[in-house]
C-alpha cells in the first residue's frame, strides 16, 4: 500500500482513496453516497457513457435484459413484454424491472451470461429468445442460447463509449495515489487502460493498481483485468456494487496494513 507521502495527498483527506468508474448518472451518485458513508474518498472517473440507439426489445418467447440501463431505456420506449418469459441476468436488473412495473420470471443463480445460459438451456430449444442489451454484450450469452437450440435475436439498446477526458484515475494510479479501485465491468478495465495508454502511463498505472486493492464485480471482469496484468484482490460472491465497494474499502483500510 502506498503511503501519503508518496501520493502527495493532503493530510486532511480521508485515509482510503477509491477510484470508481461508473457512468456519470445516478449510479455514480449512489457510489459517492456509499463511499462517503464508509469514510472513504471517491475518485470519480467515469469510464462508460451511455448512448441510446432508440431501439427497444422485440417480441420473443423469452426476453432477456442484462442491465438496469437497458431496463430503463426499454421502459422509456414503452416496451411491453406481452406473454414473454422475462429474464434478468442478475438481481440489480431484476430490481430495475420490478421498479419499472414488469414481472420477472427468471433470475439465474449465477449472475453471468454463462449462468443465464445454464438456467435457460433446457427449455429454449425451438423458442424465440430476444436479448436486449448494450453493444458490448458477451457472445457467451447469444452463442450459448443458440447452441441450446434457441432462435436468438439481439437488439442493441445502447452503445457504451469512453467519455472524453476520462483517465485522471490512471494518472493517480501511476503516481501511487490510489488505495483501491473498483471495476464494474470488463469494459471499464479496457477503457481505464486505453486512458492510461493515451497518457503514456500504462505500465506505471498497472503497477500502481497492483500496489493498491483492486476489486472486480465478477469473474468475467476479474479475468479481463488479470489478462492485462492487473492483480485482483476482491471479487464479491454476489455481483453487487455495494458489496464490491464495501469489501474493497475494508481490504484497503490502513488498519489492515499496519
**For 226-244, what is each residue's pLDDT tens digit?**
999 999 999 999 888 999 9
Strand locations in the chain (E): 17-20, 41-44, 49-52, 62-65, 85-88, 128-134, 151-161, 180-183, 213-216
What Cα–Cα distance (Å) separates residue 116 from each residue in 10, 44, 120, 121, 156? Answer: 46, 31, 6, 8, 18
Residue 82 CA to residue 59 CA, distance in Å, equals 8
| Closest listed residue to residue 48, CA positions, set 20, 18, 77 | 20
65 contacts 89 by C-beta, under 8 angstroms: yes
User: Is the four-CA dihedral 103, 24, 218, 154 of positive or negative sign?
Assistant: positive
Residue reference for cell 425451438: 126
Contacts of 125 (CB under 8 A, 6+ apart): 148, 149, 150
Look up the pTM and report it: 0.76
Q: What confidence score (pLDDT) does residue 18 get?
A: 97
Which stretches of the chain score pLDDT less than 50? 1-13, 255-258
| Closest listed residue to residue 57, CA positions, set 148, 153, 145 | 153
Q: What confidence score (pLDDT) does residue 10 get?
A: 38
Q: What confidence score (pLDDT) does residue 11 get?
A: 34
Element (DSSP H or E) covering residue 52: strand 49-52
Could you tell me how far CA 82 lies from the centroid of its own chain?
Answer: 29
Q: Provide the β-strand partners of residue 134.
A: 158
Q: What confidence score (pLDDT) does residue 221 get?
A: 94
Q: What confidence score (pLDDT) does residue 254 get?
A: 59
Amino acid at each position: 500500500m502506498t503511503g501519503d507521502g508518496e501520493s502527495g495527498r493532503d493530510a486532511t483527506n480521508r485515509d482510503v482513496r477509491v477510484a470508481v468508474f461508473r457512468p456519470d448518472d445516478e449510479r455514480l451518485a449512489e457510489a459517492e453516497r456509499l463511499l462517503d458513508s464508509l469514510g472513504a474518498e471517491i475518485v470519480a472517473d467515469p469510464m462508460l457513457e451511455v448512448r441510446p440507439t432508440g431501439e427497444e426489445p422485440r417480441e420473443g418467447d423469452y426476453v432477456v435484459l442484462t442491465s438496469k440501463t437497458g431496463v430503463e431505456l426499454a421502459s422509456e420506449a414503452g416496451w411491453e413484454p406481452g406473454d414473454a418469459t422475462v429474464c434478468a441476468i442478475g438481481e440489480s436488473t431484476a430490481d430495475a424491472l420490478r421498479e419499472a412495473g414488469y414481472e420477472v420470471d427468471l433470475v439465474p443463480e449465477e449472475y453471468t451470461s454463462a449462468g443465464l445460459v445454464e438456467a435457460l438451456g433446457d427449455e429454449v430449444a425451438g423458442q424465440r429468445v430476444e436479448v436486449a442489451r448494450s453493444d458490448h454484450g458477451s457472445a457467451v450469452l447469444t452463442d450459448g442460447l443458440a447452441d441450446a437450440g434457441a432462435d436468438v435475436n439481439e437488439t442493441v439498446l445502447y452503445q457504451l463509449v469512453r467519455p472524453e477526458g476520462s483517465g485522471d484515475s490512471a494518472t493517480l494510479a501511476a503516481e501511487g495515489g490510489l488505495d483501491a479501485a473498483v471495476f464494474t465491468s470488463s469494459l471499464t478495465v479496457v477503457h481505464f487502460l486505453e486512458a492510461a495508454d493515451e497518457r503514456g502511463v500504462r505500465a506505471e498505472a498497472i503497477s500502481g493498481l497492483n500496489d493498491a486493492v483492486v476489486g472486480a464485480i465478477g469473474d468475467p471482469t476479474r479475468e479481463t483485468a488479470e489478462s492485462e496484468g492487473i492483480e485482483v484482490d476482491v471479487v464479491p460472491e454476489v455481483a453487487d456494487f455495494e458489496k464490491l465497494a464495501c469489501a474493497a474499502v475494508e481490504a484497503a483500510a490502513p488498519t489492515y496494513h499496519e
